[in-house]
Each structure stands twice: as structure tokens, then as C-alpha cells.
Structure 1
């Protein structure tokens, strides 16, 4: 790294998304400086779950053991009316497209403490606590940030090639750039309460809903797992909606908290860990990139919690960004590819917010007459079902001439356990990072044209020949878990070209169509500066 840079990447903020981002960039070989204005890691729970896609991402970057220790599979997510009649059930317990349960609940403080240990043990990450960003400038070559030490009052300036604002809802980075946000119209105050059960007690023992929403207009309430803390205690979370006649101050009073909990649990059955009133909102930044400065996490978006996607969305941000920023820093791609970050992430997170608002509209009804109409609609089977989880709708994907996507472009690729050359493990553990071309036995890579191999080689695409486990040779990737081939057959494709962030660039039913998909990948890669004429070719792995 040139001497005039202190870091390749500076990150402002040190929440869970920033921690994972730092570990991800450090894994790629970059020197990262993290600046956080607080003097310690926030010790109390906030996020409570991660989904299968984020779990796959964490596993792919070497954090699976860490994550497994602080998570537990989700029960079925059930929604009830005031009479405890089930309105809606979302089953997260079965195998997902990623080969694991759909959702895992997590104790965030334990998760963050484990991440913090990993950060501190990583040589090319510098962590600066009590260090508040107070100024930000950028030029064609880098970003300079002024940092004030809250202990000494001293101000220092640090320079990096790129800067990430991962500094929360009240982001200094976003505000200093004057970036506006679009309000999607949801706003509600909720009291969030975390409670650790005494040893041996479980939600079932106490007659509690394991995971659900109590859609009672007299007090809309969330009751979900809170993971296990560092002492091994089972934690539970309650969230109580503030009603129109109540104030925020009243809701956060200890006596009020104990009154609300009294309908569910007794003080002697555990420990009240914390309580706080949050305003749940739905905001999306209008710009996610300004030159060499990029936003991620809550700095870029806020959403209602009813899908448990707040932290997950932030993890997707940095996962999307990392595979694009890495070649830019290496000088093997133009920074044009960074423009696809907002094109891909903003519509996706907007769709997730819309889905969260839909779910919020079911529970956040304090009027009894309106709640009765809602109940009748759901109990009669006339309610619209929740939308499918969003896919990518723009950016670096296989498109028709009119710009529309060619299915299955934009979908999250399947994943699971495979066997190859005597080794059995999850696909991501057996295939190197990068683009991946998955083909079945109806397509022979030996018949690919020279032009196709040129693109595959230039981008270092890993070619994975998958077969059913009963028919696979040692050279195949045997579909041990039965995740890959059924997904492909359901979409009538014999090949899928998968991006480094696990999203499908494009699919093909035969070799001819596949060569068109590869040619389109090459065209877009050249346009985005990811594939340059005359660049040295990498060997496409098989």
C-alpha cells in the first residue's frame, strides 16, 4: 500500500455489520481501520436472528463455528389474534435453498463479543475506540477523515483509499455528505425487553409462545427467542407496541415494564436484562455511493423488525460490496463496478422493507373494529399471502435486449453438501471463492468454444460438474444433500452461472444458451471494468 495511505479501507462504526466487514476485507488481504466513537462494544441485545443466506455467507468466510455457538434454529413463526386463533404461520424450520434452516436466532452480545475477539486477533485490522469522526474529505485518490479522541480531545487525520459508513441510523458519514433518505411510511414506537430465564426454564415450561406475534389490539406484542447468553442462560424477547394514549417516557418506566411482563412471566423466574423504547421506521438512503465513500447497514436503510431482516440486510450490503471492491483495490477492475452496488442492493432492501411493512400492518392495529376486520380476512383465507422473499432485479445479471431479466437471473443459488474427489462438505468449502459455473452431465465443457473459455478463464470461473449422488464419479460434485439438481430441474436449466455473492447471473437449458449467457457475462464484465482487454487470463478451475 502506498505510504500516503494509512489504510486501504476505513470503516466508521463498529456494530456487527462493521465487524464482519472488517474480517471479510482482512481475509482478502486489505488493511482496515475501524473508528468507533463509543469506548466499548454495545453490551445489550438488539438484533435477534440471522437467515440462511447470512449464515451461508458467515460460513464461507470462516465464521461458521463462531456463529453456530451463539445461534439456535427458529421455531415456526406464528401470528395470533386476541383470542389466540392463528392468523398466519411462517415455517422457518425446514431446509432452505442454502441447505440449512431458514432462520436461526442469535444472542447478539455473545455474537459480537466473539466477532470482536476475531477482529482483535487479525493483524491487518486496527480498532480505534473512543474515536469520533468529525470531518470527511475526499479527492480522486482517496478519503481523509478527521478523528477526535473522546478521552484526550486530540484530533488526528487518517487517509484511506475507500471509506465505508457503517455507523448506524444517525450516520455521521451519511449526514456529512448531505445524503437524503426516502421514507416508506412506517413509524411506530415499541418497548423492547430482554429477559434471561433461570437455569432449566424454557418457553414451553412457562406456557409461552415459542416464536410469535400476539396481534391483540389492546396490546400488540412480539414474543421470540433471544438466543443463549455467555452464561448459557435461555433468553427471551418481548416487544410491546406503544398505544396512542401512552408516552415514550411512560413505556420505558421500570414499573410499566414490570407491569407488561407480568402478563407473561414472574420476576423470580429470571433476570430483566434491559428495556428500551425504539422507534421502528422505514427509511432508505437515496445514494449509497458518493465517490470513494459508501454506506452500508443502518446508515443506508432502516426497516420494521417483523421479518428480522435489519442486521441481515446490512450483512448482504457488505457481502455484495466486498467482491466488487476487492478487484478495484487490486487494480484489476475499474471503480465503475461499484455503481452496481446501489443498483442491486437498494431495490432489494426496499422490497424487504415493503414485506416487513405488510407484516407490521397485520399486528400494529390498536383499533378493535379494524382488528376484527383483519381477523375475519385471515381466518376466512382471503388475506393475501406474504410475498416471496425478494431476488435481485437489476445490476450485473443476465438481461434481454429490453433490460428485463432472463430467469433465473437474480435468484439466490442453491447450496448444500456435496462430495468431490473423496471429500464431503458444503459446496462453498470445496469450491474456491469467485464466479462458479454449475453444469449437469448434459453439458460437456470440452465442447465449449474458445470465446467461452476466454471469458471463463479471464474471470477465473470455477466449473462444477454436478451429478446425483448415486451416479457421480470421483470427478463429479455429487449432490449429496439433493439441493442443486432439483433446483435446476425445477427451473429447466442444465447450467447456472453463479456470482461470488451466491446470486445467479444466468441459467441455461443447453450448451448453446449457456454460451450466450457466458458471452453476456463477458460483455457486462468489460463494460464494468471487471474484464479488460489484454488482461492476463486465469485458469478456470474444474
Structure 2
């Protein structure tokens, strides 16, 4: 006879309190779970680091109830331009042109404002216990849960806390990763860059300064990055400069204030604003061998670090915890077996590795201090023969549609589209009408479900929506206001797509017969993961 259920202090314990941990805590709390967060420092880190959130994570933040936060701290990115030493334009990427998520491809952000806004949400939440000056010194796990020993850094006293799961979101020097004995693969990139954040005097703009709004100055004499640094809560506009350390310079001299102003002098003067901070970073490319051991997971910089040339460091960490949250939710509710969590590493590790490799590729072009190599690079770009980076990665493993041999079937693993739509006489974000959190079957107008497809959707609680041209959509159809869905489905040759809770496609189908096969494979996989059938089917809200 089974004994009483074990009681835990928290459902999930998180070590670390950076932006990824804050988002993770809010994701889990929104799903109804208690979270204990332990941070060895005493306050939110007040200085900027990350400056970008891409369209996918901007959508995620809205879907997770953080839309007001994202809207306040994000600004659409300007065109991203690369210049050579003579200021000839090598490359221009119009990030504001749009994305499959319906908005700008990239948003610039003031990270401290982003974190303070999430911190305020967390402190107002009954479901999240936030503990500062608390350092994790040990942990162990068994078949039921995890026990973490926490030391108070002020008093030196220790106490044990228990949870069903533990997530190490504790940075590149992760205690959790090191304690698990998880090694990291070095993908081979290393470069030192001085990062400087500068607050401009009121009204001063990049145009006034005669600098690119957003760009790379690929001058071999001094490769330099110039980008927006976001907007502070009081309205002050920040600019960021990043200067590559050259072989003859020491790390020590790069952080001396005299050196900082020597480098800034060509771009801005002391009386034009305030130097907020400067720090030397060693950009590296490292990926943990696994992101999970039993009930313990790694996320963010604890799992991977990358060069900044795609602005994807924080984004990658947010993808980690968005991927993990819906799986933990199903498992902790008893609606899926713990084996579902084993898809976390296969889905996230290859994806982030590909992102890192693209960032390394861009870095290899930018970080080019040799004049002859830079000349050859310029000739390729100006002559239209520039090498192209790989397309942005998709999922290649995990819970995705497969054929009889176990191979993933395209377009499974693609990020789905979203954007502004019309439903029930109102216009808004797609995710405002089709609430995220479950699986959604999106059909083009005119696609009919077979009896077996209807039964699968009923059994597994799949939300079914029909998308139609905005000019002909009925009140119970999603009006494709921006044409996002039509373009996406046409590009992939499908008329139906099954979207996972994290917005990636389980699979897509061109016709009813193909749709039946896709849903049959979905039923097979969900049953293999112990995902309960007979769930109530949701409806557009």
C-alpha cells in the first residue's frame, strides 16, 4: 500500500536570479507551480548586458503574460549595417521589415529595466519565494525529488530545501553544472572585447553623433560594434560600443578608464552624456554535454555561452526555460511521464549549438584584424560574393512528427507563425485569441477533418482553429489580417499544422490523408510519453 505523498517546500527550485531565471519563475508560477529562487547576491544586477530580444521571444513574453513588460522595455531595431574601414556598406539587414511572428525581427532592450519589471512581478507573487544572499553549497536527488543545501552568506548558517525539480540558471560558472560533473564542448571561438554603455544627454541621437544607428565597423585597425543600448525607465537613451582587444593590448589596460576614453574619443565626448559602465568580456563558444541529469536541469549560460554577434545569448536562455516549462507542467500534473523531460536536451542542445555556430561565423567576419584578410573580405561583400550564414535553426529532434524509420518529417521543428489577426469582431495578437499552453491544430479554410482526426483532437484536447483570409473570415474563424498564415503555409506546402505549446510545429500536412497520418503519429508519441487522453478540447477565447 502506497504511503502519503511526499511534501516539498517548492515544486521547483531555481539557483540564480538573472533574466532567464526571472522569466522561468514567472512562466512556472503562471502555470500554478510554486518556485523557490536562491541568489547569492543581494539585489538585481543594475547594469546592462544583453541588448536584444528577437521576434520569437517577444511573442513568448506576450503569451506568458509579460506583454506589458515587453512593450515598455523593447524598441524595434533599426537597419543593421556593416561597414568596412572606408565606410563602404558591406551589408544591410532591415530588421524592422517584419518577421513570421508579425513584428520586428529584432527588438532592442534595456536589460535592467526588463529585469526590474520582472522582479516587481515576482515580489508581488504569492507563488514565488525569492531569497537573496543565499548560496547553494550542495544538493542531492532521489526518485521523488531534490534536496538543496543553502548557505546564508551573511550568517553562514545552512538549511535544506526540497523540491520536485531543480533548475541551475546560475551563469557560465554554474555551481549546479560543476556539481553534476557535466563537461562542456568548446566550439573554438575566443576573443576579448571591451563593452561600454553610455547614456546620451537628452535629445542627442546617433545622427547627431554621426554614427550608425546599429552597425559593425569592420575596420581591421579596430573592429567595433555600435548598437542601441535600450532606454532607461527615466527616458535616457543608451548607446553601446564594443571594441575588440588587439593582440598587442593587455586585458588589464583595456579596462583602464584612460583606455576607455581613448577608444570612445572618435565617437563621443564626455560632455555628451554619462559613462554607465565598461567591462572586458571574453567571448567564447561552449555547450554543456547534457542539459539534464535526472531531476536537475541546466538553462541559460549554465548550459551554453556564445559570442554576441547575433544578440542571441539571453534569447537562447529564454528558449530553454520556455521549452522546459510546458513539459514540467504536464509531468507535475501527472498528465505525462517524466520521459517527456528527456526531450529537453535533444531539442535545445542542437538548436543552440547551431545558433552559436552562426554567431561564430559572423564573428569570424567581424573579428578580422589582419588588413589583407579584411581587404579580401571587403572585395567579396562589395562584389556580391559574400558567404551567407546558415538560416536560423529549427528543432531537429525531440517530440516531432516522424516517418516509419523514425526520421523527422518536414516541416516539423519549424517555428510557427503569428501576428495580428481578427476574431469575433476584434483585432489583436493571435495568441490573445488562441490561448497558448496546449497543442493547436491550425487549418486553412476548406480543410475538413476526418472522423479519426476529430476523435484524436477530442481525446488529446487539441484546440482546432480555422484561418481564413481577413476579407472572408466568418466570426468563428481567425481572420489572417497580415497574411502571415497564408504565406507560411504556402511556403511549406501545407494546409494544416499542429503547433506545440512552445510554438514549434509538431508537424504539417498538405491534405486530409496526410493530416490523418500526422495525427496518428502524434497519438503514438503522446501515448509513449504517457500524456493523458480524454482532455477537454479548448476553444478560441
Task: Give the TM-score normalised by the residue count of structure 1.
Answer: 0.97
Q: Does 1:71 align with 2:71?
A: no
Query: Offset of 1:400 from its aligned partner?
Result: 2.1
Query: Offset of 1:252 from its aligned partner?
Result: 0.3
**Which runs of 5 or more structure 2 residues have no equivalent in the other structure?**
none
Compare 87-96 and 290-299 and name the one that shifted more: 87-96
Aligned to 1:163: 166
Query: Offset of 1:377 from its aligned partner?
Result: 1.8
Q: Does 1:537 align with 2:535?
A: yes
Compare 292-301 and 413-422 and name the one that shifted more: 413-422
Q: Deviations over 1:175-210 (max 9, x none)?
A: 010000000000001100000000110111111111
Q: Does 1:281 align with 2:284?
A: yes
Aligned to 2:210: 207
CA distance in 1, matches of 2:187, 2:75: 32
* DSSP-derived class of the 1:470 partner: coil
Aligned to 2:457: 456
Query: Offset of 1:530 from its aligned partner?
Result: 2.0
CA distance in 1, matches of 2:314, 2:382: 32
Determine if contact 2:461/2:534 at 8 Å carries over to the other structure: no
Query: Offset of 1:3 from its aligned partner?
Result: 6.0
* DSSP-derived class of the 1:84 partner: coil
* DSSP-derived class of the 2:164 partner: strand
Aligned to 2:147: 144
Q: Deviations over 1:243-283 (max 9, x none)?
A: 00111110000000011000100000000000000000000
Query: Offset of 1:512 from its aligned partner?
Result: 1.2
CA distance in 1, matches of 2:240, 2:515: 49
Q: Does 1:32 align with 2:35?
A: yes
Aligned to 1:378: 381
Q: Does 1:47 align with 2:65?
A: no
1:228 to 207, 228, 231: 231
Aligned to 1:266: 269
* DSSP-derived class of the 1:4 partner: coil
CA root-mean-square deviation: 1.3
Aligned to 2:513: 512
Q: Does 1:114 align with 2:117?
A: yes
Q: Deviations over 1:16-37 (max 9, x none)?
A: 0100100010000000000001
CA distance in 2, matches of 1:342, 1:454: 32
1:440 to 422, 438, 444: 444
* DSSP-derived class of the 2:167 partner: strand
Q: Deviations over 1:155-191 (max 9, x none)?
A: 0110000000000100000001000000000000110
CA distance in 1, matches of 2:184, 2:49: 23
CA distance in 2, matches of 1:34, 1:93: 36
Q: How does 1:173-252 map to 2 (within 5 A)?
A: 173-252=176-255
Q: Deviations over 1:429-473 (max 9, x none)?
A: 11122111010122123xx22x43333223211101111011111
Determine if contact 1:166/1:296 at 8 Å carries over to the other structure: yes
* DSSP-derived class of the 2:102 partner: coil
CA distance in 2, matches of 1:452, 1:439: 12
Aligned to 2:486: 485
Query: Offset of 1:540 from its aligned partner?
Result: 5.0
Aligned to 2:474: 473
Query: Offset of 1:100 from its aligned partner?
Result: 0.6
Aligned to 1:326: 329
Residues 238 and 218 (structure 1), Cα distance of their counterparts in 2 relative to 1, 3 Å cut: same
CA distance in 1, matches of 2:379, 2:537: 61
Q: Does 1:153 align with 2:151?
A: no
Compare 376-385 and 249-258 and name the one that shifted more: 376-385
Aligned to 1:525: 526
* DSSP-derived class of the 1:524 partner: helix
* DSSP-derived class of the 2:205 partner: coil
Determine if contact 1:191/1:277 at 8 Å carries over to the other structure: yes
Query: Offset of 1:487 from its aligned partner?
Result: 1.3
* DSSP-derived class of the 1:318 partner: helix
Compare 254-263 and 82-91 and name the one that shifted more: 82-91
2:365 to 362, 366, 373: 362
CA distance in 2, matches of 1:153, 1:453: 60
Determine if contact 2:149/2:161 at 8 Å carries over to the other structure: yes
Determine if contact 1:306/1:356 at 8 Å carries over to the other structure: yes
Q: Deviations over 1:295-349 (max 9, x none)?
A: 0000000000000000000000011111111010011110101111111111100
Query: Offset of 1:2 from its aligned partner?
Result: 5.4
Determine if contact 1:417/1:426 at 8 Å carries over to the other structure: yes
Q: Does 1:401 align with 2:404?
A: yes
* DSSP-derived class of the 1:439 partner: strand
Determine if contact 1:460/1:541 at 8 Å carries over to the other structure: no
**Which runs of 5 or more structure 1 residues have no equivalent in the other structure?**
none
The runs of at least 4 aligned residues of structure 1 exceeding 4 Å deviation read none
CA distance in 1, matches of 2:304, 2:287: 4
Task: Give the TM-score normalised by the residue count of structure 2.
Answer: 0.97
CA distance in 2, matches of 1:3, 1:334: 18
1:391 to 372, 391, 394: 394
Count of aligned pairs: 536
Query: Offset of 1:67 from its aligned partner?
Result: 1.1
Aligned to 1:309: 312
Q: Deviations over 1:79-121 (max 9, x none)?
A: 1111111122222111100001000000001111111001101
CA distance in 1, matches of 2:473, 2:20: 39
Compare 414-423 and 280-289 and name the one that shifted more: 414-423
Compare 164-173 and 479-488 and name the one that shifted more: 479-488
